[in-house]
Amino acid sequence: MSAPYALHGNVAVITLDNPPVNGLGHALRTAIVAGLTAAQDDPAVAAIVLIGAGKAFSGGADIREFNTPKAFAEPTLFTVIKMIEASAKPVVAAIHAVAMGGGLELALSCHFRVAVAGAQIALPEVKLGILPGAGGTQRLPRVVGLEMALNMIVSGTAIPSEKLAKTKLFDQMIEGDLLSGAVAFAQAVVAEKRPLKLVRNLKVEHPNPEAFLQFAANMVATVARNYPAPPACVEAVKAAATLPFDQGLKKERELFLMLVQTPESKALRHAFFAERAASKIPDVPEDTPVRPVKSAAVIGAGTMGGGIAMNFANAGIPVTMLEMKQDALDRGLGVIRKNYENSAKKGRLTPEKMQQRIDLIKGTLEYADIGGADIVIEAVFEDMNVKEAVFKKLDEVMKPGAILASNTSTLDVDKIASFTKRPQDVIGTHFFSPANVMKLLEIVRGKATAKDVLATTMKLSKTIKKTGVVSGVCDGFIGNRMVEQYLRQAMLLVEEGALPWEVDRALEKFGWAMGPFRMSDLAGLDVGWYIRKRRYVEKPDMVYSKWIDRICEMGRFGQKTGAGVYKYEAGRRDPIPDPMIAELVVNYSKEVGVARRKIGEDEMVHRCVYALVNEGAKILEEGIALRASDIDIVYLTGYGFPLYRGGPMLYADSQGLVNVIATMKQFAKNPHGDPKFWEPAAMLAKLAAEGKTFTPS
Ligand SMILES: NC(=O)c1ccc[n+]([C@@H]2O[C@H](COP(=O)([O-])OP(=O)(O)OC[C@H]3O[C@@H](n4cnc5c(N)ncnc54)[C@H](O)[C@@H]3O)[C@@H](O)[C@H]2O)c1
């Protein structure tokens, strides 16, 4: 890492060089300061150009230094900015590819900026629940205008440089080689003795800033709801428009320091790092060789098979779907075509792209047609006998080295692997419905799964734009094993006195995308019923409330049958509370001898969420999940847990694990509860006793 200093005639060129995106870490900041000092001291230098090496001008802060003392060590970005502003020699930022966050703030402190087209310009801090803290909120409105700056800062969205070419952000757009263009520009500045411009001295121009800012504040307040950062961004930009520059900077600083402390920002930063951590598997180094995946096959063209096939086609990978019967295949292919046509109608896909993708998906009834695929994903009925037949056949027909994956949601992947003579090539790929939309992919590592198979599947998850999380083999893997406990509590709450929609409302207020019963109606009540019937036999001592089985017995399976826990109007998805179900649950309570009571929302939320936490702790203990943050990612990307709370495990951390256990002990006293249920998992008890958290802070 360095900022090599080179002379191009009378221009000193300082190159930001800290791969991959020239993050402004401590070493790079130090090197920039050294370069600037050398340039100031060198009488042969008349101007300075700052340029980025490789793939970016600068992507901003170096995320590897987040939460380390290096992030705040001198020289800070403030110091670098001050030095540039104080320079008597013109400093020119030469921008290509990426100027984001601190990188853009650095450029904004320069006297001049030149850029090539296609560079991504952004202040994305809001996405981490903070705001640009090195003058970005004060300087950007002075060069791109109040409205554009506010939109950029509140949304964090990147704007291509050419769209900003006519603003004061850029003094010149360069065609051809950026370095020679920037050096020539700097030489012209010197030759023409152009005055040095500082963005801080410009005025924010707008015909009616007060009215606009009021309007923006109202809009943002409604949209941002649970996130404090966007309204704070508006406030900071308002300071740029209404206060002298240095006072505005002070305001920005105050707001920044306030936001860094918010639980929402902590949660967003946690999610950001958790997603990166999830791709790291301790015993599978990042340089593990991967198998090429240039073609794929999917067995079963049902709900999941079709969505999985679309993922491959969307990534440009040809895929063949195999079915048992022509009509099932035609139906599956038809659904895919319809999905693509809908996307095209909504303008999300051009007709050409739509056709390209459709053409990448072939159907067959013959195993002979899929033997050459690099990966095959089985998505047939959830029945071990069917899986056995399919995997025996795959073992026969697939070429050596092909990855054999199963999309099973509950079955034992090791057992499935044992149906083949190549268990090392077998892995679980648990997609979520709709498989072409949902981000989460649980990657189930079997006992025998080879490391390169795991590494290849992790890489594939990125290729098909999924968030891959590794899970060990157990019933339900990470997500569904936990959700079973969550749903058990939700059902018990209804037996004890709440109505299903009251439980949903409480959890939705907490921030879930959907309460447990809306979610069940969407997934299909028959899915859970099928699993519960197995539980009643396998684990008869597990306490279950069975009112929901009565609904299933009536053939109400949720949205797909037009009624479930809720009722639905034909063709609509809005759940309507059904008085008949209210009556059913009240009668059920009577029947099982429970005197219904009024249950507070806090109890509803915490019984459901702590059920997740306790099971999550067991999953960690057993090594099914590699880290607590992986569990959080599963819940954020697959189950609609509120992002601003960072996932169930971070939520428990934020409450204090001692307090979590104390609340669980309260729940255990409930005469209609299941005291065993609330026995804290050993890991939870241990961490609480040691005053620790699931995710080290
Ligand atoms: N539906 C979900 O939400 C969901 C989510 C995650 C995982 N899964 C899992 O995905 C798998 C498929 O579920 P689904 O919901 O798509 O089921 P589905 O019933 O919609 O589709 C299964 C398809 O497989 C076909 N099929 C059955 N046996 C076959 C065989 N021997 N050879 C070829 N095709 C065969 C059927 O004709 C049917 O089209 C199951 O293991 C399920 O547990 C489902």
Q: Active site residue: 74, 125, 205, 252, which one? A: 125
**From the CA of 454, how far away is ligand 1's center (Å)?**
23
Q: What is the pLDDT of residue 3?
A: 59
Q: Whose CA is nearest to atom 2 of ligand 1?
A: 433
> Which residue, 417, 301, 272, is CA-closest to 362?
301
Dist. CA 379–CA 409, nearest whole Å: 10
Q: Is the pLDDT of residue 2 over 60?
A: no
Q: Whose CA is nearest to atom 29 of ligand 1?
A: 380
Residue at token pair 């170096």: 62
Per-residue pLDDT of 495-550, as tens digits, reads 999 999 999 999 999 999 999 999 999 999 998 999 899 999 999 888 899 999 99
Q: Which residues of 268-289 are buried (b: 16+ CB within 10 A; e: fewer)?
A: bbbbebbbebbeebeebeeebe
- Paired tokens of 508: 């939705």
User: What is the rounded average pLDDT for all residues in the chain?
Assistant: 96
**CB-based contact 119:165 (threshold 8 Å):** no
pLDDT tens digit sequence for 457-476:
999 999 999 999 999 999 99
Digit-coded pLDDT (tens) for 328-375: 999 999 999 999 999 999 999 999 999 999 999 999 999 999 999 999
**pLDDT: is 290 or 62 the higher one?**
290
Question: Mind listing the pLDDT tens digit for each residue in 144-155?
Answer: 999 999 999 999
Q: Where do runs of H (alpha helix) occur along 225-346?
A: 229-242, 245-260, 263-278, 303-314, 326-345
CA distance 28 to 38: 15
SS (H, E, C) 70-114: HHHCCCCHHHHHHHHHHCCCCEEEEECCEEECHHHHHHHHCCEEE
Residues 272-309: tens digit of each pLDDT: 999 999 999 999 999 999 999 999 999 999 999 999 99
Quick one: which atom of ligand 1 is closest to the CA of 322?
Answer: 33
DSSP 61: S
* pLDDT value of residue 597: 97
pTM: 0.93
In percent, how much of the chain has pLDDT > 90? 94
Residues of the chain with pLDDT > 70, as a percent, come to 99
**Residue 125 known to be catalytic:** yes
Measured in angstroms, how far is the CA atom of residue 300 from the centroid of ligand 1?
6
Residue 508 annotated among the catalytic residues of the structure? no
Distance CA 4, CA 51 (A): 10
Q: How far, in Å, from the CA of 408 to the mean position of ligand 1?
A: 9
Q: Give the tokens for residue 425.
A: 């090539």
Q: Are 612 and 648 in contact (CB under 8 A)?
A: yes
pLDDT at 1 over 70: no
Residues with CB under 6 A from ligand 1: 299-305, 322-324, 328, 379-382, 386, 389-390, 407-409, 430-431, 433, 523
Radius of gyration of the chain (CA): 29
Q: Which residue is listed with tokens 């056949």?
A: 393
CA of 407 to the centre of ligand 1 (A): 8
Three-class SS state of 435: coil
d(CA 253, CA 245): 12
Query: Closest Cα to residue 648, out of 276, 282, 274?
Result: 274
Protein residue with its CA nearest to atom 3 in ligand 1: 433
Ligand 1 mutation target, pool 320, 365, 381, most atoms within 8 A of CB: 381
Contact 15, 183 (CB under 8 A): no
